[in-house]
Amino acid sequence: MRALPLIAALLCAAPAFADEPDRFADAGKAMEARDFASAARMLRPLAEAGDAEAQYRLGMALADGRQYGAMGGVEGVEWLERAALQGHENAVLRLAFGHQYWPNHPFHRAELVRWLEYGVEAGFPWAMSWLAGYFHTDTGLYTGQDHERARALYQAAADAGHGHAMVPLARMLMAGEGGPADGEAALHWLDAARAAQMRFTEWPTGELFHYGAPGVEPDLDQAAYWYMQAAREGLQPPEAWSRLSDLYEARGDRARAASALDVFSNRLSDPHRPELAAYMAGLRERLAVYHTDLTEAERQTRQRVTLACLFNDGVCD
């Protein structure tokens, strides 16, 4: 895999066009009009002079005019690569996206990883997070698993403020993947992800308080609250209801446990998924134990109480 030792030098060597703030205006209008030939003709002199932005735009114009790093035009790809080698972030991103659309082709898989490595070396947080995902979960198609590298990349991206790296980093910290478990750090990054308006923070926060981790003691009340938030937001249906049922049962509240399990059963039922039949049969047996002493009216009342929690910020008492 080629490294990227010349990025800084290339950036320094790239000519500046500060006196031409509107140098792309006409080419931009041509692109909007889908007149890619005219756009390419206007961009080429600037691109050949070494302007990374012009190289990027020319590459996009030549790649059949498609807007997502399409690999359709060989010359277009070459110009995108030239821009990327000068540290043009969007060029690196487009190349990575373009190669991503060919997951069954070994060449494109290798090129995707190569450009992500370029992006990491150039300091782009999105590339760190993207590549970390492969090192975290890949089974050999792209990189193979390397939890230490995945955690380090997620950490670097999160430290740079990349919200999408924060939740997976928190999960690795909770599980002790790629290094020691650290519940306190995991909670910090889950809070940071919420502050960055990232989704899917409620469920792992519930898990953290449910099971605990170094620095965070189990707190079933907090766990129930966060599982309820996940259920309320519809972010982890229907599993949140099953976890709530487990928590209520652990606290000896069989009525609420039954109610949450009822909701779980209703949410999980799907006539188009016959593979759930055996699981549902076991679930019905579990519900039968809960409902031994309940009439149908009482059961429905219990379920309404649980559902009412959704409209009361998860507060059930």
- Look at 9 and 191; give whichever has higher pLDDT: 191
For position 175, what pLDDT does the model report? 97
Question: How is the chain split into domains, by residue range?
Answer: 1-122, 124-218, 241-317
Please give the C-alpha separations between residue 180 and each of 149, 170, 175, in angstroms, as whole numbers. Answer: 14, 12, 8
**Cα-based torsion angle of the residue sequence 228, 172, 211, 277 in order, rounded to the nearest 10 degrees:** 60
Predicted confidence band at 66 (pLDDT cuts at 50, 70, 90)?
low
Predicted confidence band at 50 (pLDDT cuts at 50, 70, 90)?
very high
Concatenate the DSSP letters of all residues of 236-282 into one string: STTHHHHHHHHHHHHTT-HHHHHHHHHHHHHHH--TT-GGGHHHHHH
The arrangement of secondary structure in 124-218, i.e. its CATH architecture, is Alpha Horseshoe (1.25)
Identify which of 6, 24, 32 has the alpha carbon closest to the alpha carbon of residue 87.
6
In this predicted structure, the answer to whether residue 274 has a pLDDT above a threshold of 60 is no
Q: Are 47 and 40 in contact (CB under 8 A)?
A: no
Q: Are 181 and 208 in contact (CB under 8 A)?
A: no
Three-state secondary structure call for residue 65: coil
For position 277, what pLDDT does the model report? 53
Q: What is the CA radius of gyration of the chain?
A: 26
Three-state secondary structure call for residue 67: coil
Q: Are 45 and 58 in contact (CB under 8 A)?
A: no
In this predicted structure, the answer to whether residue 271 has a pLDDT above a threshold of 80 is no
Least confident of 87-91, 154-158, 178-182, 257-261: 257-261
Cα angle at 241 between 283 and 293, to 5 degrees?
55
| d(C-alpha 7, C-alpha 152), whole Å | 22
- Look at 154 and 254; give whichever has higher pLDDT: 154
| For residues 111-118, average pLDDT | 94
Of all residues in the chain, the percent with pLDDT exceeding 90 is: 42
- Look at 199 and 278; give whichever has higher pLDDT: 199
pTM over 0.85: no
Burial of 8 (0-12, 13-18, 19+ CB in 10 A): exposed
| For residues 22-36, average pLDDT | 85
- Look at 251 and 262; give whichever has higher pLDDT: 251
| d(C-alpha 292, C-alpha 121), whole Å | 62
Burial of 17 (0-12, 13-18, 19+ CB in 10 A): middle
Tabulate helix, strand, coil % of the chain (nearest 5).
Answer: 70, 0, 30
| d(C-alpha 95, C-alpha 51), whole Å | 18
